[in-house]
Structure 1
Amino acid sequence: MRAVIQRVNRAACTVDGVCTGEINQGLLVFLGVEHDDDDTDLRWLGQKLVSLRIFSDEAGLMNKSIQDIGGNILLISQFTLFAQTKKGNRPSFTRAAKPDHARPLYHKMAEYLSILLEKQVQLGIFGADMKIDLQNDGPVTIVMNTKDKDNH
């Protein structure tokens, strides 16, 4: 799994003009699922997302997690995070999981994050043409890949 995590003051997802998910302070998480990702990847990444200390403390240092500040998460599926651009000008997405594998993991991630945060995670719609509106805070943007979990 690959995630692009943005610390935001607000973020919203709309599909066909209808808001599917909206948050104030928290994390906008774009999630890509690879064909060999499983529940181990999901649990590792979910735990990292809620524990990542990227929110400012009273001294202005990035020392607080989303749990510490009571923030929210907007989770958006994004297979394009696995774009391969080495050859030619058209990206290849062969490393991205097929929808029958990716969709259940996306929804399981939302359920897992909701349990960890003890509040409902906001969502886009898997596979839809989504419009994302956000105000990045910082800006703070972090990329994580579960393939790196075993590397120190």
Structure 2
Amino acid sequence: MTTLDGRPVEILLVEDNEGDVRLTREALREGHFCNRLSVVGDGVHALDFLYRRPPYQEAPRPDLILLDLNLPRIDGREVLAEIKSDPSLRRIPVVVLTTSRAEEDLVRTYDLHANCFITKPVDFDQFIQVVKNIENFWFTIVVLPP
């Protein structure tokens, strides 16, 4: 399945843990949607990707961003704040996908207008299922802005 306009679903994963990147790729490969996953490993590259700064001049606009909080260089909270303060980016749904269980992170990310906060399961099968559920929810149930 593709988006309504027939193109693959564009997902930006902002994640510095290679194991979580591999698991996310696997889950999305098993999903129901034709998707193109772009991965960046820190907050600086995330913002460069979104603003199409070198080397990302040809980067697609994501339909969904999966954002870890604990990133090198610029953390996920700062990336989220930048995304949601920019009129050209703020409508892109941002799913915070993190190991944090801290209430202050939960509250802070919602204060910064995250679309949802999900704590990464440590179990392999549960992690795969969570990513599949994210994909299903955001591309089957939710109506996204153009």
TM-score past 0.5 threshold: no
More helix by share: 2
TM-score (norm 2): 0.32
More strand by share: 1
TM-score (norm 1): 0.31
Which has the larger Rg? 1
Between the two structures, name the one with larger relative contact order (CA 8 Å, sep ≥ 6). Answer: 1
